[in-house]
Chain A
Amino acid sequence: MTTSSNALLSLDHISLSFKGVNAITDISFAVRAGEICALIGPNGAGKSSLLNVINGVYQPQRGSVHFDGHAYRRMNPYHAAHSGIARTFQNIALFRRMSVLDNVLTGRNLHRRSTWLEQTLNVGRARSDETVQRSYAEVVIDALDLQRYRHTTVGTLPYGVQKRVELARALAAEPRLLLLDEPMAGMNADEKHVMAGYVLDANTQFGVTVVLIEHDIGVVMGLSDHVVVLDYGKKIADGAPAEVRSNPDVLAAYLGTRH
């Protein structure tokens, strides 16, 4: 089941270790195009490390990652971005001193067609390019209901909104695959519900394949089409929410230890 036919992303026997300490051992799974896949597991189960492997922050010692057809062992975040992988971080990684609009626009940087010189002198493709990028950014802002914060400095926004801005910046890049590292961390039930709505919109309206890490079982089960459960760097379950929920290992290893 490592590489299913219409898999957008598939991991092949990935192993990762830091100075001999195994973070991930021999994990394989596939994510179908258009689905929402949730990675769950206790803290330190290697979820974030896995995300970091997928967009090239870490290089796995063994195994390979396939992203729409192409297999790669060596990857770095820069190339990941250019091949259509966007992500958000567990502890928000926004450009704090820039406005929401500017943050979202930086997400468009891959799609700029005009050079900085053209933009500065406002000649050639610059003007049309600007309108295209700006209007797409505005579409994202509209979709995530950020209009009222458009010109607010990100650093001054409440936590929940910042999470949303980070999602917006990722969406603005028109990614094929969107990696969300605990998009609902530290939110109350209502906020989680709202955020889940936005993630769903991203998936349905913008047609983005989503891989997300989330602790709240309720949210995960409601949101995702496909759940992968990790424990101590190993995969202990993989399948539809229903199956996973009934899986005894999961109940033992994961739900048992959940607070």
Chain B
Amino acid sequence: MGFFLEVLVGGLLAGVMYSMVAIGFVLIYKASGVFNFAQGSMVLFGALTYVSLVERHVKPVLAFGVTLGALVLIALLIGRLVLRPLVSRPPIVLFMATLGLSFILEGAAQLFWGAQVHGLDLGIDDKPLNVGGIMISQFDIFAAATAGVLVIGLSLLTNRTRLGLSLRAVADDPLAALAIGVRLPRVWAIVWALAGFVSLVAGLLWGARLGVQFSLSLVVLKALPVLIIGGFSSIGGAIVGGLLIGASEKLAEVYVGSLLGGGIENWFPYLLAMLFLLARPVGLFGEPAVERV
């Protein structure tokens, strides 16, 4: 039983990580209707830049600032060079564009900082704590806490502020928003910058866990089913979806995977996501799209 709980909690905490990446997606999707495949590469880019700076004896805080600055710059460039020319093109096209974007970012990150694995130490050691009979890694708790703070902040931002309002306006209909005076490029820039920030945080947490390396960019493939389950346009959904995926995949890996020879956590989330889709094509919290004849 304790073992089950440990697996479950472990899964949930891993799920938190997934959600962090997923949130980046949701932000961008809400603002520009873009399904940003490059999110994973942003995570990689952020973490790699940070680590490399720290390794070059830049103060962590400064390194964080610089990295964030770089990400914001990238965000601006993306808005200017990619999104604006493609506005009001079919979503598939935008998706492919972000696919290209992810290639650029990954290539650039490794071109600058090299492809070797970097260790990353955030100063929180990974020793397990005993919480009510189950062992939970201190680091995981820290990660969860960070995620929690992030989520609360973001939901406040999107629901309470004018920015949030214009975000939703843009999400509904970019051209209309443009017409009512929302400064589209500005909104995009802000949102992509936010997404950059989130991905940086996620990248640091993941990186501290697995080491900063190319495979970081593959978390995008974890976040995908999370989004499907949570719905593309709901931060809460991203969280719930993340926890769901995290827990279920770990449990499945432990209890089912052993029968199938392991390694099923690669596709199991997708299986789950597909079942969800067939049951509820717009995810748990997504608004159904109305089709007009």
Contact = CB atoms under 8 A, between A and B. Distances in A.
B233 to A, nearest CB: 22
A43 to B, nearest CB: 16
Interface string A48-86: 000010000100000000000000000000000000000
Contacts of A136: none
A89 B293 CA distance: 8
A57 B293 CA distance: 8
Interface in B47-65: none
Interface string B250-293: 00000000000000000000000000000000000000000001
Contacts of B293: 52, 57, 89
Interface residues of A, number: 3
Nearest to B293: A57
Nearest to A181: B293
A52 B293 CA distance: 8
Interface in A217-235: none
Contacts of A52: 293
Nearest to A51: B293
Contacts of A57: 293
A52 B291 CA distance: 14
Nearest to A52: B293
A229 B134 CA distance: 74
Nearest to B292: A91
B256 to A, nearest CB: 40
A147 to B, nearest CB: 31
Nearest to A49: B293
A8 B224 CA distance: 52
Interface string B144-175: 00000000000000000000000000000000
A23 B166 CA distance: 33
Contacts of A89: 293
B120 to A, nearest CB: 49
B276 to A, nearest CB: 26
B90 to A, nearest CB: 12
B235 to A, nearest CB: 28
A181 to B, nearest CB: 10
A214 to B, nearest CB: 19
Interface string A22-59: 00000000000000000000000000000010000100
B81 to A, nearest CB: 27
Nearest to A93: B293
B200 to A, nearest CB: 41
B258 to A, nearest CB: 46
A89 to B, nearest CB: 7
Interface in A169-214: none
Interface string A87-117: 0010000000000000000000000000000
A209 to B, nearest CB: 22
A47 to B, nearest CB: 13
Interface of A: 52, 57, 89
3 contacts: A52-B293, A57-B293, A89-B293
For the complex of A and B, the 3 pairs showing the least CB-CB separation, nearest first, are A57-B293, A52-B293, A89-B293
